[in-house]
Amino acid sequence: MRYLRFFAAAFAVIVSVTLNTLASDIKIVANSSIKTDTISPGELKNIFLQEKNSLSDGSHAEPVLQKSGPIHQDFLQHYLGKTDDDLQTFYRALVFTGRGFSPKQLGSEAEVIAYVTKTRGAIGYVSAEAATDGVKTLTVLRSGSTAERRLITRVEPDYPLTLKRLSIGGTVRLQITIAAKGNVENIQVLGGNPILAESATAAVKQWVYSTTHSRSTEEVSIPFDPNR
Protein backbone atom coordinates (compact mmCIF):
# COMPACT_ATOMS: atom_id res chain seq x y z
CA MET A 1 0.00 0.00 0.00
CA ARG A 2 2.85 2.36 0.80
CA TYR A 3 4.21 1.89 -2.70
CA LEU A 4 0.79 2.51 -4.23
CA ARG A 5 0.42 5.73 -2.25
CA PHE A 6 3.91 6.79 -3.31
CA PHE A 7 3.24 6.20 -7.00
CA ALA A 8 -0.15 7.94 -6.77
CA ALA A 9 1.48 10.99 -5.16
CA ALA A 10 4.27 11.01 -7.72
CA PHE A 11 1.76 10.78 -10.57
CA ALA A 12 -0.21 13.72 -9.14
CA VAL A 13 2.95 15.82 -8.99
CA ILE A 14 3.86 14.95 -12.58
CA VAL A 15 0.36 15.86 -13.79
CA SER A 16 0.43 19.16 -11.89
CA VAL A 17 3.84 20.12 -13.29
CA THR A 18 2.77 19.14 -16.81
CA LEU A 19 -0.41 21.22 -16.66
CA ASN A 20 1.44 24.26 -15.33
CA THR A 21 3.98 23.89 -18.15
CA LEU A 22 1.17 23.75 -20.70
CA ALA A 23 -0.37 26.89 -19.24
CA SER A 24 2.92 28.79 -19.50
CA ASP A 25 2.97 28.09 -23.26
CA ILE A 26 -0.39 29.81 -23.76
CA LYS A 27 -1.14 33.54 -23.96
CA ILE A 28 -4.66 34.77 -23.32
CA VAL A 29 -5.38 37.69 -25.64
CA ALA A 30 -8.25 40.17 -25.51
CA ASN A 31 -9.73 43.08 -27.42
CA SER A 32 -8.77 46.53 -26.12
CA SER A 33 -12.36 47.02 -24.90
CA ILE A 34 -11.65 44.57 -22.06
CA LYS A 35 -10.87 46.74 -19.04
CA THR A 36 -9.02 44.28 -16.85
CA ASP A 37 -5.40 43.17 -17.24
CA THR A 38 -5.93 39.90 -15.36
CA ILE A 39 -8.31 36.97 -15.55
CA SER A 40 -8.85 33.94 -13.35
CA PRO A 41 -9.07 30.35 -14.61
CA GLY A 42 -12.67 30.30 -13.37
CA GLU A 43 -13.57 33.35 -15.44
CA LEU A 44 -11.95 31.82 -18.53
CA LYS A 45 -13.95 28.63 -18.09
CA ASN A 46 -17.19 30.55 -17.54
CA ILE A 47 -16.68 32.62 -20.70
CA PHE A 48 -15.69 29.73 -22.98
CA LEU A 49 -18.47 27.48 -21.66
CA GLN A 50 -20.91 30.42 -21.97
CA GLU A 51 -21.94 30.34 -18.34
CA LYS A 52 -21.29 34.09 -18.33
CA ASN A 53 -20.84 36.75 -21.02
CA SER A 54 -19.03 39.34 -18.91
CA LEU A 55 -16.02 39.56 -16.63
CA SER A 56 -15.94 40.59 -12.98
CA ASP A 57 -15.08 44.17 -14.01
CA GLY A 58 -18.24 44.38 -16.15
CA SER A 59 -16.50 44.02 -19.53
CA HIS A 60 -18.51 42.15 -22.18
CA ALA A 61 -16.63 39.01 -23.24
CA GLU A 62 -16.93 36.79 -26.31
CA PRO A 63 -14.92 33.54 -26.64
CA VAL A 64 -12.80 32.89 -29.74
CA LEU A 65 -11.28 29.46 -30.41
CA GLN A 66 -8.72 27.91 -32.68
CA LYS A 67 -9.97 25.01 -34.79
CA SER A 68 -7.11 22.65 -34.00
CA GLY A 69 -3.45 22.35 -33.08
CA PRO A 70 -1.39 21.68 -29.94
CA ILE A 71 -2.09 25.05 -28.29
CA HIS A 72 -5.82 24.52 -28.86
CA GLN A 73 -5.63 21.08 -27.25
CA ASP A 74 -3.53 22.40 -24.35
CA PHE A 75 -6.00 25.24 -23.70
CA LEU A 76 -8.97 22.87 -23.66
CA GLN A 77 -7.19 20.43 -21.36
CA HIS A 78 -5.82 22.95 -18.90
CA TYR A 79 -8.58 25.57 -18.70
CA LEU A 80 -11.79 23.79 -19.75
CA GLY A 81 -11.07 20.18 -18.81
CA LYS A 82 -12.52 18.95 -22.11
CA THR A 83 -11.40 17.30 -25.33
CA ASP A 84 -12.25 18.93 -28.64
CA ASP A 85 -14.97 16.34 -29.29
CA ASP A 86 -16.47 16.99 -25.85
CA LEU A 87 -16.47 20.73 -26.47
CA GLN A 88 -18.12 20.47 -29.89
CA THR A 89 -20.82 18.23 -28.42
CA PHE A 90 -21.31 20.75 -25.62
CA TYR A 91 -21.70 23.66 -28.07
CA ARG A 92 -24.13 21.72 -30.26
CA ALA A 93 -26.28 21.07 -27.19
CA LEU A 94 -26.24 24.79 -26.32
CA VAL A 95 -27.37 25.73 -29.82
CA PHE A 96 -30.01 22.98 -29.96
CA THR A 97 -31.57 24.04 -26.65
CA GLY A 98 -31.28 27.75 -27.40
CA ARG A 99 -29.09 28.36 -24.35
CA GLY A 100 -26.05 29.54 -26.28
CA PHE A 101 -24.18 29.73 -29.57
CA SER A 102 -21.22 28.15 -31.29
CA PRO A 103 -18.26 30.55 -30.87
CA LYS A 104 -16.04 31.75 -33.69
CA GLN A 105 -13.40 29.14 -34.54
CA LEU A 106 -10.41 30.18 -36.62
CA GLY A 107 -7.72 28.28 -38.48
CA SER A 108 -4.55 30.05 -37.36
CA GLU A 109 -3.11 32.19 -34.60
CA ALA A 110 -2.82 35.12 -37.02
CA GLU A 111 -6.56 34.87 -37.71
CA VAL A 112 -7.28 34.76 -33.97
CA ILE A 113 -5.20 37.91 -33.37
CA ALA A 114 -6.86 39.72 -36.32
CA TYR A 115 -10.35 38.81 -35.12
CA VAL A 116 -9.67 39.70 -31.47
CA THR A 117 -8.16 43.02 -32.54
CA LYS A 118 -11.30 44.17 -34.35
CA THR A 119 -14.04 42.48 -32.27
CA ARG A 120 -15.28 44.18 -29.12
CA GLY A 121 -15.09 41.90 -26.09
CA ALA A 122 -13.27 39.09 -27.88
CA ILE A 123 -11.01 36.81 -25.83
CA GLY A 124 -8.86 34.10 -27.38
CA TYR A 125 -5.62 32.21 -26.90
CA VAL A 126 -2.38 31.80 -28.83
CA SER A 127 1.07 30.35 -28.21
CA ALA A 128 3.54 32.23 -26.01
CA GLU A 129 5.68 32.98 -29.08
CA ALA A 130 2.87 34.45 -31.20
CA ALA A 131 2.99 38.13 -32.20
CA THR A 132 0.19 39.98 -30.42
CA ASP A 133 0.19 43.45 -31.97
CA GLY A 134 -3.17 45.17 -31.53
CA VAL A 135 -4.47 43.08 -28.62
CA LYS A 136 -4.12 42.97 -24.84
CA THR A 137 -2.39 40.05 -23.15
CA LEU A 138 -4.17 39.07 -19.95
CA THR A 139 -2.29 37.69 -16.97
CA VAL A 140 -3.90 34.50 -15.68
CA LEU A 141 -4.13 34.43 -11.90
CA ARG A 142 -3.73 31.23 -9.93
CA SER A 143 -5.18 30.83 -6.49
CA GLY A 144 -4.12 28.54 -3.68
CA SER A 145 -6.93 29.75 -1.45
CA THR A 146 -10.66 29.26 -1.49
CA ALA A 147 -11.25 32.68 -3.02
CA GLU A 148 -9.12 34.63 -5.45
CA ARG A 149 -7.86 38.01 -4.34
CA ARG A 150 -8.84 41.06 -6.36
CA LEU A 151 -5.83 42.91 -7.78
CA ILE A 152 -6.14 46.61 -6.93
CA THR A 153 -2.75 48.03 -7.93
CA ARG A 154 -0.76 46.50 -10.78
CA VAL A 155 2.74 47.63 -11.79
CA GLU A 156 3.99 46.51 -15.20
CA PRO A 157 7.52 45.05 -15.38
CA ASP A 158 10.32 46.77 -17.26
CA TYR A 159 11.33 44.85 -20.38
CA PRO A 160 15.19 44.78 -20.57
CA LEU A 161 15.97 46.59 -23.83
CA THR A 162 18.74 44.19 -24.84
CA LEU A 163 16.42 41.18 -24.62
CA LYS A 164 13.64 43.01 -26.43
CA ARG A 165 15.96 44.01 -29.29
CA LEU A 166 17.06 40.37 -29.59
CA SER A 167 13.39 39.28 -29.58
CA ILE A 168 13.95 37.23 -26.42
CA GLY A 169 10.66 36.92 -24.58
CA GLY A 170 8.37 34.37 -23.04
CA THR A 171 6.25 33.98 -19.96
CA VAL A 172 7.49 34.18 -16.39
CA ARG A 173 5.53 32.16 -13.82
CA LEU A 174 5.60 33.28 -10.21
CA GLN A 175 4.07 31.93 -7.04
CA ILE A 176 3.26 34.81 -4.73
CA THR A 177 2.20 34.98 -1.11
CA ILE A 178 -0.20 37.81 -0.34
CA ALA A 179 -0.54 39.13 3.19
CA ALA A 180 -3.97 39.64 4.72
CA LYS A 181 -3.51 43.40 4.24
CA GLY A 182 -3.00 42.91 0.49
CA ASN A 183 0.75 43.44 0.06
CA VAL A 184 2.90 40.82 -1.69
CA GLU A 185 5.25 39.47 0.96
CA ASN A 186 6.96 36.57 -0.81
CA ILE A 187 7.68 35.59 -4.43
CA GLN A 188 8.97 32.31 -5.83
CA VAL A 189 10.01 31.96 -9.48
CA LEU A 190 8.44 28.84 -11.04
CA GLY A 191 9.63 29.26 -14.60
CA GLY A 192 10.82 31.60 -17.32
CA ASN A 193 13.95 33.46 -18.43
CA PRO A 194 15.98 34.36 -15.27
CA ILE A 195 16.59 37.96 -16.40
CA LEU A 196 12.93 38.50 -17.23
CA ALA A 197 12.06 36.85 -13.92
CA GLU A 198 14.06 39.52 -12.07
CA SER A 199 12.07 42.26 -13.80
CA ALA A 200 8.75 40.48 -13.19
CA THR A 201 9.60 39.95 -9.53
CA ALA A 202 10.49 43.61 -9.02
CA ALA A 203 7.15 44.67 -10.49
CA VAL A 204 4.97 42.14 -8.69
CA LYS A 205 6.50 43.12 -5.33
CA GLN A 206 4.66 46.43 -5.80
CA TRP A 207 1.26 44.87 -6.52
CA VAL A 208 -1.54 45.41 -4.00
CA TYR A 209 -4.50 43.07 -3.55
CA SER A 210 -7.79 43.35 -1.71
CA THR A 211 -7.68 42.69 2.02
CA THR A 212 -8.95 39.49 3.58
CA HIS A 213 -8.88 37.65 6.88
CA SER A 214 -5.80 35.54 6.11
CA ARG A 215 -2.70 35.13 3.95
CA SER A 216 -3.19 33.49 0.52
CA THR A 217 -1.03 32.09 -2.27
CA GLU A 218 -1.52 32.60 -6.00
CA GLU A 219 0.36 31.75 -9.18
CA VAL A 220 0.63 34.49 -11.82
CA SER A 221 1.95 34.38 -15.37
CA ILE A 222 3.69 37.51 -16.69
CA PRO A 223 4.13 37.63 -20.49
CA PHE A 224 7.03 39.44 -22.17
CA ASP A 225 6.25 39.99 -25.85
CA PRO A 226 9.08 41.56 -27.92
CA ASN A 227 6.58 42.47 -30.64
CA ARG A 228 4.60 44.84 -28.45
- How many Å apart are CA 49 and CA 169, to the nearest integer? 31
- How many Å apart are CA 140 and CA 136, to the nearest integer? 12
- How many Å apart are CA 116 and CA 27, to the nearest integer? 13
Residues contacting 160, CB < 8 A, separation 6+: 195, 196, 199
The residue-averaged pLDDT of 204-219 equals 85
The residue-averaged pLDDT of 192-200 equals 93
pLDDT of res. 92: 94
Residues contacting 205, CB < 8 A, separation 6+: 184, 187
pLDDT of res. 159: 95
Spatial contact of 196 and 172, defined as CB atoms under 8 Å apart: yes
pLDDT of res. 59: 85
pLDDT in tens, 38-81: 888 888 999 999 998 888 778 899 999 999 999 999 999 989 99
pLDDT in tens, 76-130: 998 999 999 999 999 999 999 998 899 999 999 999 999 999 999 999 999 988 8
Domain 26-140 -> CATH class: alpha beta
- How many Å apart are CA 168 and CA 115, to the nearest integer? 26
pLDDT in tens, 138-187: 888 765 444 567 889 999 999 999 999 999 999 999 989 888 789 999 89
Domains of the chain by residue range = 26-140, 144-228
Three-state secondary-structure class, residue 85: helix
CATH of 144-228, one of 3.40.50.700, 3.30.70.250, 3.30.450.20, 3.30.2420.10: 3.30.2420.10
Q: Is the pTM of this model over 0.75?
A: no
pLDDT of res. 85: 94
